[in-house]
Amino acid sequence: MSDTGSNAMWGGRFAAGPDAIMEAINASIGFDKRLAKQDIEGSRAHAAMLAATGILRDSDAEAIREGLLTVLSEIEGGTFQFSTALEDIHMNVEARLKELLGDPAGRLHTARSRNDQVATDFRLWVRDQIDAAISGLEALQRALLAQAEAGADWVMPGFTHLQTAQPVTWGHHMMAYVEMFGRDAGRFRDARTRMNECPLGAAALAGTSFPIDRHMTAEALGFDAPCANSLDAVSDRDFALEFLSSATICAMHLSRFAEELVIWSSAQFRFVALSDRFSTGSSIMPQKKNPDAAELIRAKIGRILGANVALLTVMKGLPLAYSKDMQEDKEQVFDAADNLMLALAAMEGMVSDMTANRPALEAAAASGFSTATDLADWLVRELDMPFRDAHHVTGALVKLAEDKGCDLPDLTLEEMQGVSAGITEGVFDVLGVHNSVASRMSYGGTAPEQVRAQIARWKEKLA
């Protein structure tokens, strides 16, 4: 995408033309044609600015603007013939414009370079992807909110180390992911704010001697301001790296949730049933219903993290300003964006369609001595026992229940008093899982009342 490559169109020292290998390694049109809409948008803004500043005749500017719309309609209609010999989207568009308009087309490139042109196109494309990602995240959050609202008071086991820890509510678990995906949307918004400066007019690296108005083009393209340093403007790819970094963290969150759905939908757990739309059968085992969509989402982090590492590696040793290495900045970002959007859409569909198995959740919530912490807290609160002593007494009661093959609520009062004489009948009020979750009234806790408050907060935020 540099103004220092090889192209037979330029004549002079390049008149002999590149050989097939050089053409293949140098061309980017195979992938950067995805920037066509942004390239034409930037060119139309540039032409309008050139006319407004008197650099370009109004008649030429109007012809260029209309010609660019014709080129865009050809590209969107699938009739445009892309040429590898013309290297990139910029030269392909300009060559077609020349066929349509003749000499006026050649005036479009006044006061700009392909270096600031591609930097602008790519920023516009990434900005569009950020907006799409935020939209996808909000749709997923709404699906999670619907699940949380339906099961705000359904009990289920909360886990640490994938071992039963304490009872929580289904709504509370769903809301944990609402928070995670909310942070992801926040990262994308932060990245969008930081990247929203316009490189157009930085030219090859040093700016231009023409009396251009960079604030006009920045405003026309929806940027907050022009980039303040022309060297930085053409060599910066932080915006793409921030997009990939945000996408990587988001993909990690999607992968964590996908892992839970794989486990939960197994015959051993039966916490959820995934719809047939997001499951597949086995070619040999007729009883199987495989959570393939969740498994594929779980894997997407590999591609997206890989794209992040790849672009960081491309950029790490580049001196200012533009180098041809930077042509390797797009394919990874395109692939990561495609896969992130696919994963978000698939997860939103799965969450919307899945059915939680309330009886299985409740049965599992009561297993594994999940109310042991409630017992220890009761000993501290009611018997004024130091927590470390309460922890020891509770451990002894858990061991007793384990030896008897029962759960804590199934022990008799006499058996409990044999471990700690001060225990009273009131202990049984805290040993049920519903009592346990209802007691967790601290802000952000699992009590249904707290869960509903968080649901209301998020509904207002997403309204």
Task: Based on the residue annotation, tell me whether 90 is a catalytic residue of this protein.
Answer: no
Residue 226, H or E segment: strand 225-226
φ/ψ of residue 165, rounded to 5 = -115, -75
- In whole angstroms, give the CA distance from residue 281 to residue 7: 53
Residue 152 and residue 171 in contact, taking contact as beta carbons nearer than 8 Å:
yes
Name the active-site residue from 73, 135, 275, 282: 282
At 272 the three-state DSSP class reads strand
Contacts of 220 (CB under 8 A, 6+ apart): 45, 48, 49
- In whole angstroms, give the CA distance from residue 75 to residue 11: 27
Q: What would the two tokens of residue 157 be? A: 């086991």
Name the active-site residue from 161, 209, 283, 442: 161
How far, in Å, are 157, 168, 391, 406 from residue 165 at the CA level?
7, 9, 14, 17
Contacts of 69 (CB under 8 A, 6+ apart): 40, 44
Q: Which spans in 151-289 are helix H?
A: 170-195, 214-220, 230-235, 238-264
Q: Which spans in 238-371 are helix H?
A: 238-264, 292-315, 330-353, 358-365
Q: Tell me the pairing of strands 225-226 and 355-356.
A: unpaired
Angle among Cα 71, 76, 77 to the nearest 5 degrees reads 95
Task: Based on the residue annotation, tell me whether 253 is a catalytic residue of this protein.
Answer: no
Other CB atoms within 10 Å distance of the CB of residue 232: 17
The residues that are catalytic are 161, 282
